[in-house]
Chain A
Amino acid sequence: MKFNDTVLKELETITSRYPKKEAALLPALYLLEREFGTISNEGMEYVASLLDISPAKVFGVFTFYTYYRRPGTGKYLIQLCSTLPCALRKSEFLFDHISKKLGIKNGETTPDKMFTLKKVECLGACDRAPFLQINEDDFEHMTPEKVNFLLDELRKKQ
């Protein structure tokens, strides 16, 4: 597992923005995620070697943050906000609907590796509740009908 030269250059540009190489750890993990889809132990060891820090340090930092993709995540990661403002607008009901439709529980992935479903804390779009993210895209004022349409479209797209 290695970055190609273009990505290595990109990382160099990033590290040059900080007085200490180590400060580029969060951005470096994002590069890893972008290039390889998820963040594996092997990837973390590689990033550690690039930034001259220990793999244990990288692992410790990585596990603190919830937004990075863990190995085994499906092609589409559905993150449904479940905090109070969304809960008041029935996000729990929506969660149950998605869960039933996909046949998976919180944190699980469909057997075909298409969808992972996660309840997450406030996504900062409370006026557009219930709110969810699929990969990097935002979806607002969600209803079971809208979710059905969206998931069916994604399945067709494969």
Chain B
Amino acid sequence: MNFEPILTEYVKHQNSHTMDFYLSHDGYKSAQKAIQNFKPDELIEEVKKSGLRGRGGAGFSCGMKWGFVPKITTKPKYLVCNADESEPGTFKDRLIIEKDPHQLIEGIIIACFAVQIHTCYIYIRGEFVNGAHILQKAINEAYERHFLGDSIFGTGYKLDITIHRGAGAYICGEETALLSSLEGGRGYPKIKPPFPAIEGLFGCPTVVNNVETLANLPHIALHGADWYKNIGTENSTGPKIFGLSGHVKKPGLYELPLGISLRTLIYEYGGGVLDDKNLKAVIPGGSSCPVLTAHEIDTKMDFDSLIAIGSMLGTASAIVMDTSTCMVDALWNVLRFYAHESCGQCTPCREGTGWLAKIVGRIEKGDGTKNDLSLITEIANNMVGRTICVLADAAAMPARSYVQKFYSEFEEHVQMKGCPFKK
């Protein structure tokens, strides 16, 4: 496929993270144009028109999210950039942060101006130590040039950005948990409503946007919604940074329009399955997405097509598994992750993720019974939709899909009293 990268055009250059490099490639022209030529409401309309959907996993319309923030309020408003990238398989925001931080900062300026926000926090996961350093340096550079601070581009518009480092809790990627953490608490998700747009950080109207979502904004503001809409599909517009990991020859990030097929991604861009083995399964968008079999890879990688076959686009980060992979062991790994990361507030999640991990673990180790197979589905059914946030669903949905699609493999473990892949 012939596609010129937009978000990742410059990431291979050695100095792509510096202000000088960014400015020499029309950097900050878009933010300047947005502030000087647009009224805030016009910007929101433009972004709505572009069809940009959130790149953090949920795929909600970015412009609509902004539109929920009250125009008239006595409270301060906040933008929180979600850089807590932690969904297993996902490493796209890391690229933007480390290689093109100014693109993110420019996106933040545009988002803040559109919603008339003057304070932004970037919540970055603690493990991205290097990323936080690079980002802080870029923010400092932006202050020096008056692209941030008291009078951006001399217009009198004021904006401050503060980096806030997380400390190793996956749940803080969930937006309300992130806000709890940013307020100085444990990363506990909160019941919605009230939604953050009305009552978010410190009880004030708050927009939470993912790094990649924000990185799209300079391009939309510069080239317009009509240009942007031409990329991708009707309901999934724009470019997307796809991830590839696991058993694939060329793991990495590939920027392509939404709607390319999983087959194209794996075989054309990823170079095919490692060691030329056969493909067994793919998780299309991070470990919380229901798994797909090798027969389902002609599905288009966009929001609607993946929902139509019972999975999700998630973060569009595909994890590839070849025929040597034990699906029970793979699911066990995924479930241990969610059991470890459950915040513990809701019983169905705290207990459910732990039970699922234990049951799948005993099947893998040869201590499972036939009854365990239906038990997995039964527990999963009692988790989905019964908790404050969707971490329970993130464990339950894959659990159901592995058992359903690879039932005979689970059965074989029970019959053999052990793992057929470990000889």
Contact = CB atoms under 8 A, between A and B. Distances in A.
Given A84-B89, A88-B319, A125 B94 contact: yes
A84 B334 contact: yes
A124 B333 contact: no
A64 B187 CA distance: 8
Interface string A19-58: 1101111110110000000000000000000010100000
B167 A127 contact: no
Contact of A26 (B76, B164, B317): B164
Contacts of B169: 64-66
B168 A65 contact: yes
A87 interface: yes
B184 interface: yes
B128 A124 contact: yes
B333 A67 contact: no
B183 A88 contact: no
A110 interface: no
Specify which of B88, B130, B187 lies most central, judged by the most chain A CB atoms within 10 Å of its CB.
B88
A121 interface: yes
Nearest to A85: B245
B315 to A, nearest CB: 11
B263 interface: no
A19 B76 contact: yes
Specify which of A67, A83, A85, A128 lies most central, judged by the most chain B CB atoms within 10 Å of its CB.
A85
Contacts of B283: 84
Contacts of B181: 26
A24 B184 CA distance: 6
A143 interface: no
Interface in A117-150: 120-129, 133, 136, 138
B366 interface: no
Interface in B74-130: 76, 85-91, 94, 125-130
B321 A88 contact: yes
B202 A20 contact: yes
Given A83-B88, A85-B89, A124-B86, A66 B168 contact: yes
Nearest to A135: B129
B252 interface: yes
B184 A127 contact: no
B17 interface: no
B238 interface: no
Given A126-B319, A127-B244, A136-B129, A84 B165 contact: no
A77 B229 CA distance: 47
Interface string A93-128: 000000000000000000000000000111111111
Interface residues of B, number: 53
A153 to B, nearest CB: 20
A65 B202 contact: no
Specify which of B91, B160, B182 lies most central, judged by the most chain A CB atoms within 10 Å of its CB.
B91
Contact of B88 (A30, A126, A136): A126
Nearest to A60: B186
Contacts of A133: 127
A127 B245 contact: yes
B131 to A, nearest CB: 9
B109 to A, nearest CB: 18
B247 interface: yes
A136 B130 contact: yes
B184 A61 contact: yes
A65 B129 contact: no
Nearest to B319: A85
Nearest to B343: A64
A84 B334 CA distance: 6
Contacts of A75: none
A124 B183 contact: no
B340 interface: yes
A122 B89 CA distance: 8
A27 B126 CA distance: 10
Given A20-B183, A22-B184, A27-B165, 4 more contacts: A65-B168, A79-B127, A85-B88, A88-B247
In the A-B complex, the 8 residue pairs with the closest CB atoms: A67-B168, A126-B245, A65-B167, A25-B184, A127-B251, A66-B168, A85-B245, A64-B186
7 contacts: A23-B184, A60-B186, A83-B337, A124-B127, A125-B91, A126-B91, A126-B243
